[in-house]
Structure 1
Amino acid sequence: MTLDEFLRMLRRRWRILLAVVLGCALAGLVAGLATSSQHTATAQLVVAPSGETPMANASLAPSLLSSSGMQTYAELAGSERVAAAVIAELDLDEPADELAERIVARVPTDTYVIDLTVTAVDAETAALLGNTAAAQASALIDSLFGERGSGLSATVAAEADPATATVPSWWRHLPVGAVVGLLGGLGLAVIREILDQRVRDSADVHRTFGVEPLARVTVSATPGRTAPLPADSADGAVSEPIRRLHAALRSGGRTPRSVLITGVSGQEASSTIAVSLAQLAATAGEKVLLVEGDLRAPRLAGRLGCPQQPGLADYLRGTTGIESVVIDASPQVTTPNGRCPSPVYRRGTTRLGVVTAGSNDGTPVDLLGSGAFAGFLDEVAAVYDTVIVDGPAVLPSSDSVVLAGRAEATVLVVEAGRTRRDEVDQALAQLAAVGAGTAGVVLAELPARTARGQARAMVRGNGGG
């Protein structure tokens, strides 16, 4: 992971990192408050030659006073054996293993001293336990020295004093908890980043598929029922990226006469981009026909404020002619007050035509794969500079795959923060299987609420067939 990728990960995962840091810091604070009522008192033992005991085995003294030997005496001083002796002497009602957990013995570096620290609820009890433990530890260690005739003894050098008993600071665990939370939060963020397969930005598109997106479009709120195509209603946040997409489709020497705009697993973002592209091309002076290719869940008529009327499906069944399905939605003739324009086919003069899905009886994939649809594209391509087909998502059904086989170019819309990389791989593989000319990828960014609403709408749409 490069530095840039790490910084992008932090920007995306900062909520997780902050939550873990705050949680661990709070846990440290609680632990500090819980232990602040505990007192600690320390007694000292010193191991040195005894003037009263002869050194029968004087040669053992150096090894007995080594650092490993001192560590062994410290372990004995804090053992359950010493704790049991303390309990017996003071007649305490406490298990030896629990008391042993509150007795800590350590040896300062390069010394013959054992610091014996005991924790209790008050200073007097801590000092009493410390002094008793020191006496019992001294007796235990002396018995071992006596058995070996080492001439050494463990003497209580300093008794625990209630006046010097210490109380831990309540805040001392707070920075420790924060540091632990920072490390844990970073680890969790990295794991989430590795496991998260969603495409989130242009860098993800480039890193995963080796190409830069044709455009990066921020899609705003769910469109209403008013006509989306008049020139003065262009969304500034969308228009400039759509201009780049429009220019990209015309680069390379040959402009495609038919373009399919389709999504991977969701539909609404691709529809918005298709409508915006048709509007921009029309306002640029081109003759454009926008065709709704989603016969399963049509929406375009509602966006135009039109009731259900004959459309593409009806034409493909042969129940109506092309003059009855093309709506003249040119900016200069769009009807005021959001009223539905009348279907009218002005051959060679319609600047922006719209064909809605029509009635959704029958099997859409059969209609779209028929010769009638190929004939429809040939007929309208002779009149319009560009035919833009707003197709359904690739993965939920095979309709867009069939449409991609008919269109000269296909633009795949990937929704940032929602579409997974494996889904894009599957969609591209299905398009490649029919020889679709994939022009590139458009990255659509949706607000969180819109994305959640779209997910629910898509579930309902799929459930309805």
Structure 2
Amino acid sequence: MTIVQYLHVLRRQWLVVLLLAALGTGAAYAYTDRQVRTYSAGTEMFVGITGEKQDDVSQMSQGGTFVQQRIKSYADVVTSPAVLERVSSAYGVPVSAGQISVTAPPDTVLLDITVTDTDAERAALIANGLADQFPVYVAQLETLPQQTSSPVRLTVVERATPNKTPVSPRVPLNLALGLLAGLGLGIGAAVLRDAMNTAVTGVSDIEKLTGAIPLGVVPYDAGTTKQPLVDTDEHGARAEAFRTLRTNLQFADVDSPPRVIVVTSPLPNEGKSTSACNLALTLALGGARVVLVDGDLRKPTVGRYLGISSAAGLTTVLAGRHDLRDVVTVYGRDTLAVLPSGPTPPNPSELLGSQQMADLLATLATHYDVVVVDAPPLLPVTDAAVLAAAADGAVLVLRHGRTRKEDANRALQALDAVNAKLLGSVLNFAPKKKRRGGYDGYGYGYGYGNAPKAAAGTPAVRPAQVVLPDAENSPA
């Protein structure tokens, strides 16, 4: 993955990253809060030599070398039990070697003693106690029987003072480490979650699958369950999205504009029927002569969406029981011509793949500017592929967050297998994303075979006043 792709992943999964970063920081805070506060106090001692006055530079150099050789041993002796017992007895405080740190800076004759304790005052007391008792102990060690004094002198350079700021736990550092750990886990979880997410979740996914951005991105609106059609709110966001789809569809093939358009989806419940209805309505409201054909002979829903009876329609025309002009009706104020599905037949695939169906589509294309066919899903049955092969192209409806990328790819392969042309895709049910000047990233989906009844106030339906061929020339 490139850096740009990682940034896109983090943008999609920002909530996961934020949550784990907060959890990491919270865990670090909880851990830090439970730790015992410790304080430190330090003292510094200078190690020199005594004796006769040393005027000779060589004697002073030899004395310095002697001290540097000894000082490493003194650093170990500071924490010896004998010294600790002296401090504990003299000051009445418990002292352990684990709370004392002694360092001897290189090329110096200094001893730095640092004491840590849970009480700042006690830490300073122990450090100063060591500074007082250790020179006495060293003098005893360094004094030979024939000598009256030690040749080594330890002088306190700096005495310890209480420091009320704890040295442990280090709150800022722990919180920073917790935040970094949480961010690392969040980024890893975001990448893993995105890799495991097989659903279509954005325009970029569709572009990777189809090689082109979708023709339309239709907004989700909770109110669509009551009124899925856009003609009731021509100024709404969904209506605008379908107008965008209409415009983009006109440029799908400028040399040969599609006249017969099949609308389908990979699987049920992805909104292909409402997309077909709204596309047909939008084209008709734009001034085109449009006929909407309910080609989903297994679970027809167009009639129920538009409030049109499906007792007679496509199947009865193909069976020769009715003339085409007798079953085509209009929706609204002569806005849209509709050819309902008719009774459900026992052999939908054979009917839709017949020469009669091809002739019917050709007939409709000669009398209307655009023929929109609502077809079944591509993967469960072959009906949509058969229809797409006889049409000028197909529009594939993909539902945001539900259509799997694998299913979308299989649907594209099904169209390719019959040499059907893909006019473009529609991203359905995408979430709203507020942006300056409007909204971006819309989506809308409606269930296959789960259409609601026509809402109250649906425009009345009357016989279509359409120009069709005479009965003897119409497809039987």
* TM band (smaller chain): 0.5 to 0.7
Query: Partners of 1:398 and 1:275 in 2: how far apart?
Result: 21
Alignment-derived partner of residue 408 in structure 2: 424
Q: 1:288 aligns with which of 283, 287, 290?
A: 290
Q: Is the 8 A contact 2:201 2:400 kept in 1?
A: yes
Aligned length: 416
Q: Render the CA deviation track for 1:116-160: whole Å, top value 9, x for unaligned.
A: 34242x445655777799999999x99xx9xxxxx9999997676
Q: Is the 8 A contact 2:21 2:180 kept in 1?
A: yes
Q: TM-score under structure 1 normalisation?
A: 0.65
Q: How does 1:124-143 map to 2 (within 5 A)?
A: 126=123
Shift of 1:278: 0.7
SS at match of 1:435: coil
Q: Is the 8 A contact 1:226 1:305 kept in 2?
A: no
The share of aligned pairs that are identical, in percent, is: 25
Q: Is the 8 A contact 2:115 2:124 kept in 1?
A: no
Query: Partners of 1:257 and 1:14 in 2: how far apart?
Result: 44
Alignment-derived partner of residue 238 in structure 1: 241
Q: How does 1:147-166 map to 2 (within 5 A)?
A: 164-166=162-164
Q: Is the 8 A contact 1:32 1:169 kept in 2?
A: no
Shift of 1:49: 6.5
Alignment-derived partner of residue 410 in structure 1: 394
Q: TM-score under structure 2 normalisation?
A: 0.64
**Are residues 1:255 and 2:253 paired?**
no
- More helix per residue: 1 or 2? 1
Query: Partners of 2:201 and 2:316 in 1: how far apart?
Result: 40
Alignment-derived partner of residue 279 in structure 1: 281
Q: How does 1:319-358 map to 2 (within 5 A)?
A: 320-323=321-324, 326-333=327-334, 352-356=337-341, 358=343
TM-aligned CA distance change 1:319 to 1:214, over 3 Å = same
SS at match of 2:254: coil
Alignment-derived partner of residue 37 in structure 2: 38
Query: Partners of 1:64 and 1:380 in 2: how far apart?
Result: 109
5+ residue gaps, structure 1: 146-150, 335-350
Equivalent AA in structure 1 for residue 13 of structure 2: R
Alignment-derived partner of residue 175 in structure 2: 177
SS at match of 1:26: helix
Equivalent AA in structure 1 for residue 346 of structure 2: G
Per mean C-alpha deviation after superposition, the further-off stretch among 218-227 and 406-415 is: 218-227
Query: Partners of 1:354 and 1:106 in 2: how far apart?
Result: 95
Q: Is the 8 A contact 1:198 1:419 kept in 2?
A: yes
Alignment-derived partner of residue 118 in structure 1: 116
Q: How does 1:176-215 map to 2 (within 5 A)?
A: 177=175, 180-181=178-179, 184-185=182-183, 188-189=186-187, 192-193=190-191, 195=195, 196-206=197-207, 209-215=210-216
Shift of 1:355: 1.9
**Are residues 1:228 and 2:214 paired?**
no
Q: How does 1:12-91 map to 2 (within 5 A)?
A: 12-35=12-35, 38-44=37-43, 48=47
TM-aligned CA distance change 1:160 to 1:422, over 3 Å = farther
Per mean C-alpha deviation after superposition, the further-off stretch among 176-185 and 408-417 is: 176-185
Shift of 1:412: 1.8
Q: Is the 8 A contact 2:389 2:418 kept in 1?
A: yes
Q: How does 1:289-328 map to 2 (within 5 A)?
A: 289-306=291-308, 309-313=311-315, 318=319, 320-323=321-324, 326-328=327-329
Query: Partners of 1:395 and 1:155 in 2: how far apart?
Result: 91
TM-aligned CA distance change 1:223 to 1:6, over 3 Å = same
**Are residues 1:438 and 2:448 paired?**
no
SS at match of 2:13: helix
Q: Render the CA deviation track for 1:408-439: whole Å, top value 9, x for unaligned.
A: 20122233444444443332222212211112
Shift of 1:46: 5.5
Q: How does 1:353-392 map to 2 (within 5 A)?
A: 353-356=338-341, 358-359=343-344, 362=346, 364-392=348-376
Shift of 1:230: 5.0
5+ residue gaps, structure 2: 52-60, 143-150, 433-441, 452-476
Equivalent AA in structure 2 for residue 403 of structure 1: L
TM-aligned CA distance change 1:333 to 1:43, over 3 Å = same
Q: Is the 8 A contact 2:308 2:340 kept in 1?
A: no
Q: Is the 8 A contact 1:293 1:391 kept in 2?
A: yes
Shift of 1:170: 11
Q: Is the 8 A contact 1:264 1:424 kept in 2?
A: yes
Shift of 1:225: 6.2
Shift of 1:307: 5.9
Shift of 1:20: 3.2
Alignment-derived partner of residue 146 in structure 2: none
Q: Render the CA deviation track for 1:349-385: whole Å, top value 9, x for unaligned.
A: xx522323643x6354454344453344344334333
Equivalent AA in structure 2 for residue 261 of structure 1: V
Equivalent AA in structure 2 for residue 15 of structure 1: L
TM-aligned CA distance change 1:31 to 1:387, over 3 Å = same
Query: Partners of 2:113 and 2:2 in 1: how far apart?
Result: 49
Equivalent AA in structure 2 for residue 411 of structure 1: V
SS at match of 1:439: strand
Per mean C-alpha deviation after superposition, the further-off stretch among 199-208 and 275-284 is: 199-208
Alignment-derived partner of residue 437 in structure 2: none
Q: Say what the alpha-carbon RMSD is for the aligned residues.
A: 5.5
Alignment-derived partner of residue 400 in structure 1: 384
Shift of 1:333: 4.1
Equivalent AA in structure 1 for residue 37 of structure 2: Q
